[in-house]
């Protein structure tokens, strides 16, 4: 159905409210708009605030930033019924063909909100230090299995009494070695790492070597079976 020459790398950005998703997209745009042809779709909850914020940041041609309404269901919009988002992405790809990367910002939601693989090729989950150092340990599908976990606003750590290194260690433990990035837009070294990750992921997806992973609604977890053996698995029932 898709013309391969116009199909972009679709990168989802999810995470709780206010953790810095829009700011991260603004950073990616200002770092990479010279190298990559970019587009942005925002999923605002109540306003077109995020789209406006990004347009006014002047990091990308405002016409390449489009907002999708979510009917107060940000979770549905990126997971159960991705139709409006998918149409928005494909229209953007068509109108500005060819695009290299389309960034899709989820409306700020809770820890269980993750993108459907039908909508994005890869996803970043954004936490911030101000949400508390223990959030990473609490886990959840986005924390455990997003392609990249960002621990954002590290510059605030001293003010909120969070040990960034410990938070990153907790997150790494929850993620089986998948990457974790401690980020602050005021820390150029971390911004460079973010840029590097986006570039290399773009290349991986383009080469066709990447299969989108579904973080899924329930994180893998461990419990002890009747024989005292530890088993780790994912499933849908509650216990």
Ligand X SMILES: Nc1nc2c(ncn2[C@@H]2O[C@H](COP(=O)(O)OP(=O)(O)OP(=O)(O)O)[C@@H](O)[C@H]2O)c(=O)[nH]1
Q: Which residues contact 13 (CB under 8 A, 6 or more apart)?
A: 21, 24, 25, 103, 104, 105, 106, 123, 124, 126
- Spatial contact of 41 and 66, defined as CB atoms under 8 Å apart: yes
Burial of 174 (0-12, 13-18, 19+ CB in 10 A): buried
State which residue, 22 or 85, has the beta carbon closest to Mg ion: 22
Question: Using CA atoms, how far apart are residues 77 and 154, in angstroms rounded to an integer?
Answer: 30
Running DSSP on this structure, what letter comes out for residue 69?
E
Q: How far is the CB of 70 from Mg ion (least distance, A)?
A: 12
One character per residue 150-189, x = contact with ligand X (rule: CB under 6 A): --xx-xx---------------------------xx----
> Can you tell me which of 7, 8, 10, 22 binds ligand X, judged by CB under 6 A?
22
- Spatial contact of 110 and 48, defined as CB atoms under 8 Å apart: no
Within 81-100, which residues bind another protein (CB under 8 A)?
81-84, 86-87, 90
Question: Using CA atoms, how far apart are residues 114 and 219, in angstroms rounded to an integer?
Answer: 11
Quick one: which segment of 20-28, 120-128, 140-148, 223-231 binds Mg ion (CB under 5 A)?
20-28
Within 85-114, which residues bind ligand X (CB under 6 A)?
108
**4 lies in the site for another protein, by CB under 8 A:** no
Burial of 233 (0-12, 13-18, 19+ CB in 10 A): exposed
**50 lies in the site for ligand X, by CB under 6 A:** yes
Quick one: which segment of 13-21, 168-176, 204-212, 230-238 binds Mg ion (CB under 5 A)?
13-21
**What does the binding site for Mg ion look like in residue numbers (CB under 5 A)?**
21-22, 50
**What does the binding site for ligand X look like in residue numbers (CB under 6 A)?**
17-23, 50, 108, 152-153, 155-156, 184-185
């Amino acid at each position: 159905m898709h013309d391969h020459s116009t199909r972009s790398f679709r990168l989802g950005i999810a995470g709780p409210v206010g953790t810095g998703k829009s700011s991260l997209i603004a950073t990616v745009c200002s770092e990479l708009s010279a190298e990559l042809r970019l587009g942005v779709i925002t999923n605002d909850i109540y306003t077109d605030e995020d789209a406006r914020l990004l347009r006014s940041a002047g990091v990308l041609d405002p016409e390449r930033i489009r907002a999708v309404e979510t009917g107060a269901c940000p979770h549905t919009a990126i997971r159960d019924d991705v139709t409006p988002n998918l149409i928005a992405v494909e229209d953007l790809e068509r109108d500005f063909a060819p695009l290299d990367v389309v960034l899709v910002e989820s409306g700020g939601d809770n820890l269980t909100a993750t993108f459907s693989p039908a909508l994005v090729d890869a996803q970043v989950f954004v936490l911030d230090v101000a949400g508390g150092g223990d959030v990473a340990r609490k886990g959840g599908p986005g924390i455990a299995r997003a392609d990249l976990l960002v621990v954002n606003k590290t510059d605030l750590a001293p003010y909120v009494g969070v040990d960034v290194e410990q938070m990153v260690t907790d997150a790494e433990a929850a993620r089986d070695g998948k990457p974790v990035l401690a980020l602050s837009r005021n820390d150029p070294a971390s911004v460079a790492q973010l840029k590097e990750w986006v570039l290399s992921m773009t290349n991986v997806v383009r080469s066709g070597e990447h299969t989108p992973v579904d973080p899924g609604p329930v994180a893998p977890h461990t419990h002890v079976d009747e024989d005292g053996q530890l088993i780790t698995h994912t499933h849908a029932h509650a216990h």
